[in-house]
Each structure stands twice: as structure tokens, then as C-alpha cells.
Structure 1
Amino acid sequence: MRFGVCILFVLLVACQVTAKEKTKAQEREENLVLTRNERDSSENQGEPGHNSSGDDWKEFWAVRLAINLVGYATIFVPGYLIIRHLRRTRYNESAGPGFLPNLAVLCVFGREQHASATAEEGNVGGKGASSSPTPAEEPFFTRALRLVICVIGLQVSYLTWGVLQERIMTIEYGRTATQPGEFFKDSQFLVFINRILAFVMALIVITVRKQPVHTAPLYKYSFSSFSNIMSSWCQYEALKFVSFPTQVLAKASKVIPVMLMGKVVNGKTYAYHEYITAAMISVGVSLFLLTSGDATKHKDSVTTTSGLAMLVGYMLFDSFTSNWQGALFTSYKMSSIQMMAGVNLFSCLLTSVSLIEQGGFTSSAAFMLRHPDFIFAAVILSICSASGQLFIFYTISRYGPVVFVIIMTVRQGFAILLSCIIYGHPVTIIGFVGILLVFLALFLRIYANDRQRKMKKLAASNPPGSGSKV
């Protein structure tokens, strides 16, 4: 533990030195081109990539969000009417043979009438993992090797993904000493390329590895697909207003609004350790935000409010996604890969229709032609996102959610340090203490929840009066 803290301290010092050097270099460069770009800089300080033209209002995030929602509505509204009509007329009872009737039944009704039989069949031979030894039957070395592979896969996938995400959304492409660059603005296009590659990967896994018989109506994936799209969109848009370390800490602290929502809406009670860790997270985030120089990239209240709105939107949509997918897992017993394929299928459909309506494919293609280096970054970003999803599902299925949460919590800490070192985000000693406090609270929460879960399981397996007497 002490060794790890020493490493983090060394990285912090390196981070501060790098930040100072980059700040000085940027100041020298800005002084050289200040005269030429002064007018553009004053007009563009509201938002990265903001061009001075009569269409400035279209670049505001709320307008882009409204346009995206209108595009999604062109799918959801007709889809709702069709589903309502088919259910009212009980189309599944009168549908004839053929591809289209079967597709309509699969999308609207699924195989609900055979749910019990197919669920049993899926448990017997559907998952494909039944033929392989269970984790308990594997030798220790094999399990350890698998875990190391999962850790490396998750860390490499998502650390690379985080670095590229920040680069794509915050770096000016084509900028030189004599010519200003331009920012990539269409977050929805990034969501599309991430989802289509993840969908293809899921189909490949389904083809290679046997899955349980699918019983869920396909349209039910559209709800978590929509919330997944919106959470990703908010995540990309937030980087236009807040730094990447701020975004990561906001993700780590989403336990606080979840607890508040559960208390107010459902009257849920929490253990003492949950209140304590929530308070630690609040203090840690506050220390970081109040002492870090670029916690928000723009100091005016409008952009600060926009960044906060994006982070809140991300947390709300992301919370709905996990809860809805959990409900589908409980009701229909599909595999994780089937869930991945279903969600990404509707994500591709929704984003592609919206991009076509807005001309997003054309503008993004033109941007790629002007800046070929963007293509490489976007492709690697998509590969990391899709492979990361596969590692997520595999890790959870093999080692459970607690091990996965620990791995991803460590990844968030490394992501902050990597971002600070590469992009020169200034972090003070107090801000660094805030980061440590947040992650200490997360690890305490994981440990306490796991301990509480084991005690409940032990109490359930040994009820009072059931112990053997000698």
C-alpha cells in the first residue's frame, strides 16, 4: 500500500512539472499568434470549435440535443404506434409464415409464450460455458492467469479509450503556428462508430459460441439503448466544458445522487458505512474541484452550468441503463452477449437515422478528409470501446461484480493520472488528497458491501437453532 502511494506521489510530481512546461509552451505559442487570432479567440471562448457565423445558436448543446431527440422520435413514434396496434390485434396469434411476419412477432412479442421452456433449455445447454469447467473447478494458476488477462484487457482498453476520448473532443485538428485549427463537434457520430463495431463483435461471438434461446421482445432493448446513447452523448459533450479528471470524479461520485433518489422516492434505508463513504466522496470531489485550476475549462457561469448539466445527464441516463438491463436479465435470462447485441442494434439504428437527417455523416466524412489523423483516433477509440465491453461481460461472468468494480475503480485512478501527465492538467496537493479520498471511499464501500453480503449469506445458510450439537 505504501509503495503504491509513493508511486502515485511520484506521478503527481511528474504531472505538475509536465503541466508547468506545457503551460509555458502554450503561452509562448499564443503570444506569437495572438495578433492574428485575437478576434477569433474572443468570439470562440464560449465553446470549443465555436465558429463566428449566423448559425452560432445551432452549436449550443441544448439545440443539438433537441435536434437529436427529434431524430430519435422519427423511430420511436411510428414504432410505438405499430407495437400498440400489433398487441391490440394479437398479431402473434394470426401471423402467417414468412420472414416479415416472424420478424414482427420477434420484435413485438418475442417468444414469451415459450419462456419457461426456453429458459430451462438455455440453462441446460445454451450458454456454452456449461461444457467448460466452472471457476471453482479450475486450478488456481488458470484462474489467476484469466484474471490477469481480464485486468490487462480492461485497463488497456479503457485507459486508451479515455485518452483518445479526451483528445478527440478537446484537441484542435490542423492547428499550426500560422493557422488556427478546428474541433470535432459531432458527438453522436462517435457514439455511432462505437456502437456499430460493438454490434459486429457481439454478432461474431454469438455465431462462434452457443447462446441460450432468446425469448425477449426485441423492442425492449430500445429503452436501454436510448439511455445508453444519451449517457455517451452527455459524456462526450461534457469534455467541451470540464476537464477529463473532473468527469472521472463525477462518475465515481454518482453513488450520491443514487442514494438521494432512493431515499426520497422509495424511502430506502442505508447502512452507516454507505453514509460515511458518500460523505467522503463529497469531500474528496469538493477538494479537487475547488483547488484544480482547470476543473472547468471556461470560467463563466454559462459553460460551468453546461458542464454540470452534461455530467448530471450522464449519471441519470447511465443509472437507468443499468437498472433496465438488470430487469431484462431477470425477466428473460438472456446472456450478456445477447444483451450487448440487442442494445447496440438499436443504438446503431437510432444514431444512423438521426445522423442521416442532420447530415452528420457528410460533415463527419468531410472532417475526416481534412484531418486523416482523426480517422486513426476514431477507429482505435471504437475498437477499445467494443473490446472493453467484451472484457466487462467476461469478467463479471467469471469473477463477479465485486472484482469487476475493483478493477474499474483502479482504472479510474490511472485514467486521471494519465490524463494529467499527457494533457498537463494542473493538480495541487490538496486536489490530489481529494482524489485519494474519493478512491479510498470507493474501496471501503466495496469492502463493506462484500462483507455485508457474505454475512447475510452465512446467516441464511445457518439459521438460528440449525447448528449441530456435539
Structure 2
Amino acid sequence: METHGAGIQRLFVLAFCVAGIWSAYIYQGVLQETLSTKRFGEVGRRFEHLAFLNLAQNVLGLIWSFIMIKLWCRSSSGDTGGGAPWWTYWSAGITNTIGPAMGIEALKYISYPAQVLAKSSKMIPVMLMGTLVYGIRYNFAEYLCTLLVAGGVSMFALLKTSSKTISKLAHPNAPLGYGLCFLNLAFDGFTNATQDSINARYPKTSAWDIMFGMNLWGTLYNMIYMFGWPRGTGYEAVRFCKEQPEAAWDILLYCLCGAVGQNFIFLTISRFGSLANTTITTTRKFVSIVVSSLLSGNPLSTKQWGCVVMVFSGLSYQIYLKWRKLQKLKKRKSM
């Protein structure tokens, strides 16, 4: 009975994590699309300073992680033996803010579904770098997953976008938009590799310490970028928020969604592992495209939906392959 009860409790926690990640990031996607396409006020002005979202997200993430460290960790990684010092995150923190900034900027040039689909093809640069730089050999199934994802994204990019969707974009330019998304993926690859390296060197570092270190450097970089000479576009963004409180409220909600979503991701990874987290976040991306198409007026053609299904079939098969590999590993350990 105790085992049965523990199983139900575990299932409840998993459902709670799924609901948390889906609701936080799907709503954040809706807000991101709103801020990139909506015209605010009587004059109908656009919020052109999308990079400001990154700064706001970093600041809130920094405050949130600091509170979590004080509440749960008692002391930061710099005070606990084995934890990573805050300065070790400088390169990962900077690339972690440049990458997403490019992804957000891409929304000026391509639709939200196109951006989500392009960013779902993370495995392509990973496998490409693995083959060219490290000489890693992949099996047929892994190449098939990549082919499905690459083919789906490529075909989606080549298909004509509806005039209704194009009219909402600030500066329609598909090659530039997709280019920014793939640069986003490249920076993400470096960030993930650097984080793995830091975790290997400092195994006692907590998730909140990582979040604090990443957001600290992201905040410093974005403050210089947004408020430094000669650009100073941050002042314009703040002025816009003062004149259009609706936009300021959307930005605050966007940041809160990101902070809540990160909490659920950390909870999922700690309780169920990275594979479960990958599965939840991948399905969330698919649901985000459906929600965007239904609520935000970004109609997709039948062929485009075919491309979406193609991409997520490849991603789902990749998740299955990882699960099978994990099961084999568990069997060997139990023998």
C-alpha cells in the first residue's frame, strides 16, 4: 500500500510539473508574440526594443534565485566548499543572454510558430559539431531524427506564409529571421557545454547558484548593452513602458512566467531526470504552435502543419531513443 501511495504521489508531482511548465511557457510565448506584433496606444506604436525583455528577465531571475538561495540554500556557492564561484559563469552568462536575445529579435522578421519550429532543431548543430569537431559517429536512427527535423524546418521556411501573418510582423524578412534563430541555437550549444563543464568541476553547485550566476552576468551585460553609449535604447524602452502601462504589465508577466517556468524545470530534473524534462518541454513547443495558431491569428496551411508534424515526429523519436538507451543502461547496472 505504501508503494502504491508513493506511486500516486509521484504521478501527482509529475502532473504538477507538466502543468507548471506548460502553463508558464505557453503563456510566456503568447506574451512574447503580443509584444512583438501588437500596436499599443491610440497612435498604434510598436514595442521595438525586444532586447529589453532579456534584461527584465535577467533582473527578475537574479532576484528570484537570490531569494531561493537565502531561503533554501542558506549560503551561496562561493561560501560552500565545492560550489562554483560566481565569476566562473561569465562566458555562459553572456552567451545565454545573447542567444535568447537573437531568438526574440527574430520575431520582428518571422512568425512565432516559425521561430519555435526553428529553435526546435537544436540537435542539428549539436550533431554537426559532434561529427566535424569531435569525430563522433551516430547511428541510422539518430540521422533519421535529424533528417525529419531539418527537412520539416526547411520545408516550413520555403512555404509561403499567409499575408495576415506577414502584415503583423515589424520587418518581414525570413532569411534574417531564421538566421537569427540558428545563431541562437549556436550560442545555446556553447552555453550548455560551458554549464556542463562547470558542473563537472564543481559538483556541489546547486541549481539556484547556477541560476544566480547566469542571471548576474546576463544582467551586467544587458545593462551595458541597453543603457551604455552610444545606443542607450534602454531609456527609450523605459519611456515606452511609462507611456504604455499595458506593455509594462505584459513585460512583468513575461518575466514572472520565465521565473516560474525555471522553478518547474529544476523540480522536474531533480525528481524525474533530464529525459522527462526534455519530453515535457518538447511537447510544450508543439502546443505553443497550436495555441499561437488558434489565439493569435497566425493561420498555418495544411502543408505547414505537415512540416510541424514532421519536426515533432523526429523530436519524439529522439526522445524514445534516449529512453531506450537509459533503460539498457539501468539493466546493465542491475545485473
Q: Same fold (TM over 0.5)?
A: yes
Alpha-carbon distance in 2 for matches of 1:436, 1:305: 22
Give the structure 1 partner of residue 37 of structure 2.
170
Alpha-carbon distance in 1 for matches of 2:70, 2:48: 36
Give the structure 1 partner of residue 183 of structure 2.
313
State how 1:60-139 maps to structure 2 within 5 Å: 139=6
Contact in 2 for aligned 1:227/1:321 (Cα 8 Å) = yes
- Counterpart amino acid of 2:32? Q
Which of 313, 320, 323 pairs up with 1:447? Answer: 320
State how 1:355-434 maps to structure 2 within 5 Å: 355-357=226-228, 358-434=231-307
Report deviation, 1:170.
1.8
Range with bigger deviation, 138-147 or 335-344: 138-147
Contact in 1 for aligned 2:119/2:182 (Cα 8 Å) = no
Which of structure 1's runs of 4+ aligned residues deviate more than 3 A?
A: 294-299, 459-462
Answer yes or no: is 1:184 the counterpart of 2:47: yes
Give the structure 2 partner of residue 157 of structure 1.
24
State how 1:14-29 maps to structure 2 within 5 Å: none
- The C-alpha deviation readout for 1:98-134, integer Å capped at 9, x for no partner, is xxxxxxxxxxxxxxxxxxxxxxxxxxxxxxxxxxxxx
Alpha-carbon distance in 2 for matches of 1:384, 1:372: 18
Alpha-carbon distance in 1 for matches of 2:226, 2:69: 28
Give the structure 1 partner of residue 12 of structure 2.
145
Give the structure 2 partner of residue 51 of structure 1.
none
Aligned-pair identity in percent equals 30
* SS in structure 1 of the partner of residue 267 of structure 2: helix
Which of 49, 70, 74 pairs up with 1:207? Answer: 70
**Aligned residue pairs, count:** 322
Give the structure 2 partner of residue 342 of structure 1.
213
Contact in 2 for aligned 1:218/1:342 (Cα 8 Å) = yes
Report deviation, 1:285.
2.1
Contact in 2 for aligned 1:174/1:182 (Cα 8 Å) = yes
Alpha-carbon distance in 2 for matches of 1:377, 1:292: 30
* SS in structure 1 of the partner of residue 173 of structure 2: helix
Answer yes or no: is 1:243 the counterpart of 2:111: yes
Name structure 2 gaps, 5 residues minimum.
none
Alpha-carbon distance in 1 for matches of 2:140, 2:5: 38
Report deviation, 1:370.
2.0
- Counterpart amino acid of 1:222? W
Name structure 1 gaps, 5 residues minimum.
1-135, 463-470
- The C-alpha deviation readout for 1:288-309, integer Å capped at 9, x for no partner, is 333352499489x993332132
Report deviation, 1:196.
0.9
Report deviation, 1:324.
0.7
Alpha-carbon distance in 2 for matches of 1:417, 1:149: 22
Contact in 1 for aligned 2:166/2:172 (Cα 8 Å) = no
* SS in structure 1 of the partner of residue 40 of structure 2: coil
- Counterpart amino acid of 2:138? Y
- Counterpart amino acid of 1:320? F
Alpha-carbon distance in 1 for matches of 2:306, 2:36: 28
Alpha-carbon distance in 2 for matches of 1:231, 1:250: 13
- The C-alpha deviation readout for 1:212-253, integer Å capped at 9, x for no partner, is 725323221111110111011101100000111111111111
Alpha-carbon distance in 2 for matches of 1:315, 1:405: 16
Which of 198, 202, 213 pairs up with 1:332? Answer: 202
TM-score, structure 1 normalization: 0.65
The change in CA–CA distance for 1:356 and 1:293 in structure 2 (over 3 A counts) is closer
Alpha-carbon distance in 1 for matches of 2:303, 2:224: 47
State how 1:227-242 maps to structure 2 within 5 Å: 227-242=95-110
Range with bigger deviation, 359-368 or 263-272: 359-368
